[in-house]
Amino acid sequence: MKQLIAYIQERINVSEADLDLILSRFHYEKLAKGTQLTSSGLSTQKLYFVCKGCLRIFYINEAGQDATRFFAFENQFATALVSFINTSPSSEYLQALEESEVFAITHNDFYNLLEEVPQWEKFYRQYLEFAYVNNTNRLFAMVTMDASERYSELLKQNPLIVQRLPNKIVASYLNISQETLSRIKAKVIMS
């Protein structure tokens, strides 16, 4: 819980009473590696704060191939955001890639906090801004960079992904085949 408290207090100033109220809405969950938290076609009802481990948000196309949109490591939030906001069926999947420990808050509890704790509105705005910037940067990379450039940028911006996750998952994030990723890595090592 200390990680979540620190995360909240770094972003908003809240009284002890408001902090206690916020924390009372989060519930601890321990997730086995591979646990599916959200599936396509179902409404996403929880937002997860990762204390330990890694959650992945991804899509599956008609050919059955997955494309990863986001990884949440320690001290990050994850959810299928459009579904969480609209309570509509999700087009994304959410999965624990590692054994993970999280604090989860339901959609209803999260939105009730917006009414009960004025500062929670600022917290939410910051979360939405982060999600928007992250998604825009991902789209920019996919549209304007080739595979080698995307890999180089990933090594600069978030080397943890390459260090902790299998090539299959990294390739899914870069929207390339595992073979292409292997070739790119070999070139990087040789240069």
Q: Let me know: does 74 contact 52? Beta carbons within 8 Å.
A: yes
Q: Which two tokens stand for residue 66?
A: 């997955």
Domains with residue ranges and CATH for the chain: 1-119 (2.60.120.10)
Helix intervals (H) in 27-105:
81-86
Q: Which two tokens stand for residue 98?
A: 């590692």
Residues 6+ apart with CB under 8 A from 108: none
pLDDT for position 186: 87
Query: Looking at the chain, which runs of residues are DSSP E strands?
Result: 27-31, 36-38, 46-52, 55-60, 66-72, 76-78, 93-96, 100-106
Mean pLDDT by 10 residues, the chain (191 residues): 96 96 98 91 89 96 90 96 90 95 97 96 96 93 94 93 95 94 86 66
Q: Which two tokens stand for residue 125?
A: 């705005």
pLDDT for position 44: 79
pTM for this model (two decimals)? 0.92
CA dihedral 24, 26, 31, 34 (to 10 degrees): 170
